Amino acid sequence: MKRSTHKLKEPSKHDESYQIATVMFIDMVGSSLDINAGSAQAIVHRISANLCYIQEIVASFSGKISSVDGDGMLVYFIGNEHADRALRCAVRVQQECLRRCTDALMSLTNPLRIGIDTDYTLAGRVGVDNRTVLLGNALIIASRLEHACEAFRIMLGKNCVAAMSDALKRKYNRNIAVRYVLFKHDDSLTTAYEFDPFVKDRRIAILCKSIARPFESRKRTASIATRWQIPQSQALTMRLDNGVAQVLNVSNGGFKILYSKYLAKGVLLDVCLSSSIPEVEEKLAASEFNPIKAEVRWGTRSEDGYILGLKLLSLNHEKGNVLMHICLGVLQTPTAS
């Protein structure tokens, strides 16, 4: 990981109520599905079981809980090594989450997404109960990073990485990778950092993905279609906004691609397909499908670059089938990947 030289913008000197804090948003994956499907008592019991162990870990790293809102928790760290403690806390939370998800006696555990950033914040008391609230850009960025995060991972803002100690960066060098996010109302990508606690063990990484899948959208999970793998000798490529990707497999709803840039969940793209087989290329060129609107739904690191899962947005099921059949000239083996 490259050394960050990013510096925080200081607030006005006359306003001494601001202080630097590292803010963490923690969210339970799939809890909205539980709310729609279960009884009120069961929902409260499930959320409580998840938040209780998180609260204990946060306290052990001297973190402060600003609020608990349904299935989410806002935590902040101030004082010495606030960014280091926040990251260590997040790693410990994800490790415990995985342990509970794989324990048959811990069936109430949901996977988690975590977003963290650092900035000057303002703490104030509001309302009739004089409740303390936290204000500042770090809350906005941490919340947006959590939305762009995937289950069992942690997204870090550049301020947070800059505030981390060199020793911690060296320790976790292999866990951290630059990942590009698209924030709400922004037209351009923002540089962030993904921390994967389990990146060093491919077996655990695959396990995390399989655990998270049932907690995601039931509509998406129920409609998983056959994916057709593309041999390297019959290249199907995809031109994105900033380069060309190799298409690894395709279904009537999306693509798996190998790309040089690690795009985060939620990034929107206009893509164009191209084939090395002349007949297929002619059909693609004559079709109504290029360009195609797509959204990044997941991603993972590989030795050759970054593997991304794209969902087609501009095509319905029928048109997705037509596009897939156009590409059948280069498609051979069904795969469950």
* Domain match, 247 and 292 both: yes
Sequence-distant (≥ 6) Cβ neighbours of residue 9 within 8 angstroms: 120
Q: Give the residue from 192, 215, 238 where a domain finishes.
A: 215
Residue 4 lies in a domain: no
Q: Give the residue from 215, 233, 253 where a domain finishes.
A: 215
- Give pLDDT tens digits along the chain (337 positions): 655 556 666 555 434 578 899 999 999 998 765 555 556 677 788 888 888 999 999 999 999 998 888 788 999 999 999 999 999 999 999 999 999 999 866 677 889 999 999 999 987 766 666 666 788 999 999 999 999 999 999 999 999 999 999 999 999 999 999 999 999 888 899 999 999 999 989 899 899 999 998 887 654 444 556 777 776 666 788 998 778 999 998 888 889 999 999 999 999 999 988 888 888 888 888 887 788 899 999 999 999 999 999 998 978 888 888 888 787 665 555 555 5
Tell me, yes or no, if the pTM score tops 0.85: yes
The span from the CA of 119 to the CA of 145, in Å, is 14
* Domain match, 68 and 171 both: yes
* Domain match, 135 and 167 both: yes
Q: Give the residue from 173, 193, 215 where a domain finishes.
A: 215
Find where tokens 């499930």 sit: 46
The span from the CA of 296 to the CA of 266, in Å, is 5
Amino acid, res. 68: V
Q: What is the pLDDT of residue 233?
A: 62
Segment 79-83 long-range contacts (CB within 8 Å, at least 24 positions apart): 81/165, 82/20, 82/21, 82/22, 82/118, 82/163, 83/22, 83/118, 83/160, 83/163, 83/164, 83/165
Residue 7 lies in a domain: no
DSSP string, 126-177: ETTTTEEEEESHHHHHHHHHHHH--TTEEEE-HHHHHHS-HHHHHHTTTTEE
Residue 63 lies in a domain: yes
* Domain match, 71 and 185 both: yes
* Domain match, 232 and 131 both: no
The span from the CA of 235 to the CA of 276, in Å, is 6
* Domain match, 198 and 101 both: yes
The vertex-88 CA angle with 267 and 31, nearest 5°, equals 50
CATH number of the domain at 92, please.
Answer: 3.30.70.1230
Residue 300 lies in a domain: yes
How many residues make up the chain in this entry?
A: 337
* Domain match, 68 and 153 both: yes
Residue 306 lies in a domain: yes
Backbone angles phi, psi at 43, to 5 degrees: -65, -50
* Domain match, 64 and 208 both: yes
What is the total count of domains within the chain?
A: 2
Residue 35 lies in a domain: yes
Kindly state the tokens that stand for 92.
């410990």
* Domain match, 161 and 260 both: no
Distance of CA 21 to the CA centre of its chain: 23
CB 115 within 8 A of CB 155: yes
* Domain match, 108 and 154 both: yes
What is the radius of gyration, based on Cα positions, of the chain? 22
Beta bridge partners of 104: none
Q: What is the pLDDT of residue 161?
A: 97
* Domain match, 129 and 210 both: yes
Residue 6 lies in a domain: no
Residue 8 lies in a domain: no
Q: What is the pLDDT of residue 99?
A: 94
Query: Domain containing 78: what range?
Result: 18-215
CATH number of the domain at 250, please.
Answer: 2.40.10.220
* Domain match, 29 and 147 both: yes
